[in-house]
Structure 1
Amino acid sequence: MFDTKKVSIEWGGKTLTLETGKVARQADGAVIATLGETVVLCAVTAAKSVKEGQDFFPLTVHYQEKFSSAGRIPGGFFKRERGATERETLVSRLTDRPIRPLFPEGFYNEINVIAQVMSYDGENEPDILAMIAASAALTLSGVPFMGPIGAARVGYKDGEYQLNPTDAEIAEGELDLVVAATHDAVMMVESEAKELSEDVMLGAVMFAHKASQQVIDAIIDLAEQAAKDPWELAEQDDKSAMKAELKRLIGDDIAKAYKTTQKSDRAAQLNAARDKAKAAMADKTPQEQMAAIKLVKKLEAEIVRTAILKDGRRIDGRDTKTVRPIEAEVHFLPRAHGSALFTRGETQTIATCTLGTKDAEQMIDGLNGLSYQHFMLHYNFPPYSVGEVGRFGAPSRRDIGHGKLAWRALHAVLPTKDEFPYTIRVTSDITESNGSSSMATVCGGSLALMDAGVPIKRPVSGIAMGLILEGKDFAVLSDILGDEDHLGDMDFKVAGTSEGITSLQMDIKIAGITEEIMRTALAQAKEGRAHILGEMAKALGETRSELSAHAPRIETMQIDKSKIRDVIGTGGKVIREIVATTGAKVDIDDEGVIKISSSDLGQIEAARQWIRGIVEEPEVGKIYNGKVVNIVDFGAFVNFMGGKDGLVHVSEIKNERVANVGDVLSEGQEVKVKVLEIDGRGKVRLSMRVVDQETGAELEDTRPPREPREGGDRDRGPRGDRGDRGPRRDGDRGRGPRRDGDRGPRGDRGDRGPRRDRPEGGRDEGPEPEFAPAFLKGGDE
């Protein structure tokens, strides 16, 4: 029934399988890609005609993770997959970026690429499979796709590259890099690194490129078996005459506009030139007018690119390596925990850093289950930043992608949660944009983190590099403008510290670039990053030693795991009482690590002392602060260590005699006490009279020792203490061991012999047995 075609290769020690013909047969192309037990289905459909008046390529890529693929049910009220998550958006962009440049100019048929994770084994990541399946499905579909592409993930540990490492291997290593490439050239790079050198990063890209070539060969093998007939494209009309006419009409105007350094003035001049061209073409057909608009854009590109390649002169007059002027200012916002205003040319961001407690972490419900993110970076791009009117609201795919790039750049230098137990949120609000606002986010975010007192390893800067490539001639541009991005061939972004690269992203608008171009771009970017770090240091060179006065303080303490239930209490009663009474937040984990947070250090200390009182044992001879909780005739009970009470006997309240305890103490009164004794059952005897109640200092005990009573006073120790009289019998009389011991079962006289006769109403006054307790042997009771 099914005409199934399949190819398999050994790839990185695992089997990669591509299969078509069994599922989604009505799509133009459909491929199931399998690696281990991770399975991704990708289906491609293309419109057979172009909508009237359409002058752009409507390619849409959707990536979706099915929770059933990991044997999970989605969280939330609806219990089903809904809008795209941040990860799904990022993988959709990851797939879109390398395939978009591989469609021919003038192809405007709408295309849908839908990749769905159908099975996930928790080891082999589905994002790489989605890219491979999309490439294979497009290659089989017959649409004019100049692929295929391959993709691979690379890790780096102990000086060795790893192909398609697991999440655990990435966490232990120093690199997470994804590359997409054609057989001859690299198309896209996305990475996070732990301050690696340019040579190591370039080696990783080349390693991934070589691995992706194996995948490309497998896709070609499958296409030879199952590819549909290629579409026939309509021949493009010769527009050379129209182009020459437009150049004669507005060529000088465009050249003059691109010599204007101010963006708004340049835009006004370019719009005037375009309006002039539209007026000249007013009598043409709509199709010819649309063609003229595209030719004007080509004319602009040619003028800019020629000036750069031949004269080395850029739009704003800079050479290829100069970075625009930089202004950096920290503590820009008085109430933010950390803030910075970073301006580079006509690109500007207000970056803020906010510190929170554990309960502010972001909960992520994904294929691997619930996870928690303690570092977030959010990028916002309002339309006023480019002087336009537009949509303002939820973040776009671009916003999410730019934010994740900056997140990767800064994540590598953050302290661990043990070193800095805060939830960290960085926001970047772009207030002006003319090239590389994502790299401005990296710079501003780094300054905001340092201003907030986050102990990052080193400051991070970022720079965007461009490329003009004509044949074998090329020029790499540092710190590109927006127009240079649109009219150029590459957007190459590098972020890092003085010690190495932390993030690398590259998008190519042509059929790929060579190793030589990448090496040149990395070296030039290193110089630019160093310059930017120097300018940033003028505002703030290192992390502040103190947190903002408005930031919460978090103190950490470790307790024995056996004491966790005592701190939490039945149903959380104790920990809720601590929070309600002290005002501090208290979090405790399964390892006994307690985090106490508040903006008031006094509240933190109060909670800490409360918890210590619960988990620590009192020490004999140590002085504690306490509170009277109960008054009795013979003294007062004082709570002095969280949930621990002790007795201050009436004789230990003052050095002079106290006739009525209530005359001296009252419930709720705060007192200072010294631990005199802890008996074998944990009962604590306290003293107030040997402690200065004002200062808490220990006083010398001036009370003379007690004289023995007439008749022989037993050695009973201090008043109220039963001395060494042995364990107390039932009834709490402290009269030594019960004499049931050798009598056999209760009621049985054991081996005591016949009961002695005694006088009626009296007892036998025979010799006292040796084991008789003291009070039976005479003496003062």
Structure 2
Amino acid sequence: MVRVEAEIGGRILSLETGSVAKQADGAVWVRYGDTVVLATVVASTTPRENIDFFPLSVEFQERMYATGKIPGGFFKREGRPNGKEVLSGRLIDRPLRPLFPKGYRNDVQVIVTVLSADNENTPDIMGIIGASAALYISDIPFTIPVGAVRMGMIDGKLIVNPSVKERDNGEMNVVACCSKDKTLMIEAEGNEITEDVMIQALLQGAEVSRRIITMQEELREKAGVQKNTFVSCEIAPELIARIRDFAIERLKLVVFISEKKEKNKAIEGIINDAIAHFGEEIKTTDIKTVVEKLQKEIVRKSILLDGKRADGRGLLDLREITCEVGVLPRTHGSAIFTRGQTQTIAVATLGTVEDEQIVDNIEGKTKKRFMLHYNFPPFSVGEASPLRGTGRREMGHGALAERSIAPVLPKAEEFPYTVRVVSDILESNGSTSMASVCGGTLALMDAGVPISTPVAGISVGLVEDGEKHALFTDITGMEDQYGDMDFKVAGTKKGITGIQVDIKVLGLSDEIVSKALFQAKQAREAILDIMEKTINKPSEEVSPYAPKIHILTIPVSKIRDLIGPGGKIIKGIIETTKAKINVSDDGTVVVSGPNHEAVNQALEAIACITAEVEVGKIYMGKVLRIMNFGAFVEVMPGREGLVHISQLSSERVNRVEDVVSEGDELLVKLMEIDNQGRLNFSHKAALQERK
């Protein structure tokens, strides 16, 4: 067994190998505090045939025993990956994938299993480190180790690997993955963080990452094995040359067609002509692969050398943007956001506290009152394919848009609604996640959600060749496919709320990261100006079709009275008014209903039950019991007092039964509350005051 350790963020991070999972090609036991993950990697011995991609799969598994819990449900065992597991798997995949050699086609599977969780140290960061270390010490041709760190900030002070509590209560949450000298991946959310502060966090994170890389190098030196050599699955140069001669001139014209559908049809025609021309001499898959490479070459050269993009724009130009709101008559809020040939319809729905999402994972059971769901139907790219369940890409894009908008939402005390936004992509030609941010913001404003300020998103691309590089704003699908970077930034005019950076090269320099952030800022502000011309503030009122909600606070001592024995009182109010009532332990009561009338009726009933009696006030009470010295009258649920026989009438009363009977309604005035809390009423005084 080999172990290395270092102090990171005031805690010991350790990496061990050689004692567990020895049948895997690489296995590393990672411990940070009392959180433990096991990262294993296995590669097939031969490449997969007839594919043009690298078959890497990353699985992140949370074991409920890690926090001493038994899974819920009928089967009492972990099932399909939950949302957090899917997003953590994507987080691990993205910095590792570009570091494998080009042309490597062996299946590689990375599995990260959370074995122990202290709910202080997050296992996703440890998963990235463990996966990198396991690949690095194995015989798999992965030769560039990755460091990962989470940066938080509280009261303007940066924190390395904040605890779960510090992360949730902080001003930003940044995951940065780096090689020794370059940035590989960024995933961030923040409360309108400035570009300068974000850069500072990334630079500090890079320093920490380098120390973690040093640990992996030490582990490989002690326990690593010789790397396998592999033969790249590349097409023979002579075949590439023949296809180039046949197709290059036509492609140079076709690539610059701005309309996506027309362009794709023209490219398909060139491929079919090449297949017919070469017959069985060259495989169809090879022809398609080479045509793809030729397109990539044309697009990249045009951007890098001429500053010209495939759709004719300059490097900083935005595509045409249009915004519409209120496009659907019965929804609570709706919008269509169109940027070039990317289009989404976003719909906001308002619900009650009963609609909150319950999230149960190893960090505990929590509730979410804001959700953003992203759908990517096949027609949006002109394809016909089966509609499956929500895919990992859809979950990732939805999560990015959700955390980008979340910082500007009102608190529950100000706006007690559960909010769901759905972004249905109608047309896709690049950066649909950022279109979802823009469309989602417009739909929320149309729904009357009082967001603090609008949010917009944009993506910046990169083409790099040696010393030369070019950054370009608002990337299309082709530029995403053939470029080196997809640098998505969302935020307000004040600052950044969300970032996601994916790359296809061996890292980004600090200069490129800084330039991309400020270039995105300029574009984001321009988009916000366009959005504000359509709707510049949230609607004054929510939709008439949305539920009506009112929040009030009652004394904690009154909760029992409101609920009643076995819930009898509250159930009666709900049945009578058709409103929904939720009572919290601190006395907060949320009343919701289909209309104002139902809510107001419920509020009146609650007020009657929970109101405090006041000396000198007149009440209509009900006679509960008759004694020889007077009658006991209930004026509110649980609040009763005595009307002495002398207070029943202005004339002499011999028998209480001569004036009242049990069950009678009796007008009374509260005369006093004695030192024992007893209520003394007078019917005589009430009658005199009414006269």
Quote the residue 2:384 is aligned against: 389
Are positions 1:268 and 2:265 aligned together?
A: yes
Q: Quick check: 1:349–1:432 contact (8 Å CA) kept in 2?
A: yes
AA at the equivalent of 1:82: G
Quote the residue 2:172 is aligned against: 175
Quote the residue 1:322 is aligned against: 317
Are positions 1:338 and 2:333 aligned together?
A: yes
AA at the equivalent of 1:193: G
Are positions 1:306 and 2:284 aligned together?
A: no
Are positions 1:539 and 2:515 aligned together?
A: no
Q: Pairwise mapping of residues 701-720 of structure 1 onto structure 2 (< 5 A)?
A: 701=691
Q: Pairwise mapping of residues 730-769 of structure 1 onto structure 2 (< 5 A)?
A: none
Q: Quick check: 2:191–2:407 contact (8 Å CA) kept in 1?
A: yes
Q: Quick check: 1:453–1:544 contact (8 Å CA) kept in 2?
A: yes
SS at match of 1:334: coil
AA at the equivalent of 1:28: D
Residue 169 of structure 1: how far off its partner (Å): 1.2
Aligned residues: 684
- Return closer, same or farther for 1:335/1:282 CA change in 2, 3 Å cut-off: same
Q: Quick check: 2:334–2:442 contact (8 Å CA) kept in 1?
A: yes
SS at match of 2:42: strand
- Return closer, same or farther for 1:350/1:237 CA change in 2, 3 Å cut-off: closer
Quote the residue 2:67 is aligned against: 70
Q: Pairwise mapping of residues 259-658 of structure 1 onto structure 2 (< 5 A)?
A: 259-284=256-281, 286=283, 289-622=284-617, 641-642=636-637, 644=639
CA deviation map 1:369-388 (0-9, x unaligned) = 21111111111111111111
- Return closer, same or farther for 1:207/1:248 CA change in 2, 3 Å cut-off: same
SS at match of 2:411: coil
Residue 575 of structure 1: how far off its partner (Å): 1.8
CA deviation map 1:527-560 (0-9, x unaligned) = 1111111111122111122111111222111122
Cα distance between partner residues in 1 of 2:482 and 2:261: 18
Q: Quick check: 2:561–2:637 contact (8 Å CA) kept in 1?
A: no
Sequence identity of aligned pairs in percent?
45
Higher helix share: 2
- Return closer, same or farther for 1:684/1:356 CA change in 2, 3 Å cut-off: farther
Residue 314 of structure 1: how far off its partner (Å): 1.0
AA at the equivalent of 1:215: I
Cα distance between partner residues in 2 of 1:559 and 1:128: 44
Quote the residue 1:677 is aligned against: 671
Cα distance between partner residues in 2 of 1:242 and 1:668: 101
- Return closer, same or farther for 1:229/1:585 CA change in 2, 3 Å cut-off: same
- Return closer, same or farther for 1:648/1:236 CA change in 2, 3 Å cut-off: closer
Given candidates 238, 241, 244, the residue that maps to 1:247 is 244
Given candidates 13, 35, 39, the residue that maps to 1:38 is 35
Q: Quick check: 1:301–1:487 contact (8 Å CA) kept in 2?
A: yes
Quote the residue 2:128 is aligned against: 131
Cα distance between partner residues in 2 of 1:688 and 1:332: 62
Can you give the 5+ residue segments of structure 2 that lack an aligned partner in the other structure? none
Cα distance between partner residues in 1 of 2:504 and 2:195: 23
Residue 674 of structure 1: how far off its partner (Å): 6.5
Residue 290 of structure 1: how far off its partner (Å): 3.4
AA at the equivalent of 2:598: Q
Q: Pairwise mapping of residues 163-202 of structure 1 onto structure 2 (< 5 A)?
A: 163-202=160-199
Given candidates 141, 144, 155, the residue that maps to 1:144 is 141
Cα distance between partner residues in 1 of 2:103 and 2:580: 61
Q: Quick check: 1:623–1:672 contact (8 Å CA) kept in 2?
A: no
- Return closer, same or farther for 1:293/1:67 CA change in 2, 3 Å cut-off: same
Can you give the 5+ residue segments of structure 1 that lack an aligned partner in the other structure? 692-697, 702-781
Q: Output the TM-score relative to the length of structure 1.
A: 0.82
AA at the equivalent of 2:81: A
Are positions 1:256 and 2:243 aligned together?
A: no
Residue 297 of structure 1: how far off its partner (Å): 1.2
Q: Quick check: 1:189–1:504 contact (8 Å CA) kept in 2?
A: yes
Q: Output the TM-score relative to the length of structure 2.
A: 0.93
AA at the equivalent of 1:343: T
Are positions 1:82 and 2:79 aligned together?
A: yes
Residue 105 of structure 1: how far off its partner (Å): 1.4
CA deviation map 1:201-223 (0-9, x unaligned) = 11111211111111111111111
Residue 631 of structure 1: how far off its partner (Å): 12
Q: Quick check: 2:167–2:173 contact (8 Å CA) kept in 1?
A: yes
Cα distance between partner residues in 1 of 2:523 and 2:648: 75
Q: Quick check: 2:561–2:638 contact (8 Å CA) kept in 1?
A: no
Cα distance between partner residues in 1 of 2:621 and 2:481: 73
Higher strand share: 2
SS at match of 1:315: coil
Q: Quick check: 2:643–2:680 contact (8 Å CA) kept in 1?
A: no
AA at the equivalent of 1:529: R
SS at match of 2:534: coil
RMSD after superposition: 2.9
Quote the residue 1:218 is aligned against: 215
Residue 408 of structure 1: how far off its partner (Å): 0.9
Residue 313 of structure 1: how far off its partner (Å): 1.4
Once superposed, which parts of structure 1, at least 4 consecutive aligned residues long, lie more than 6 Å away? 627-639, 645-656, 664-669
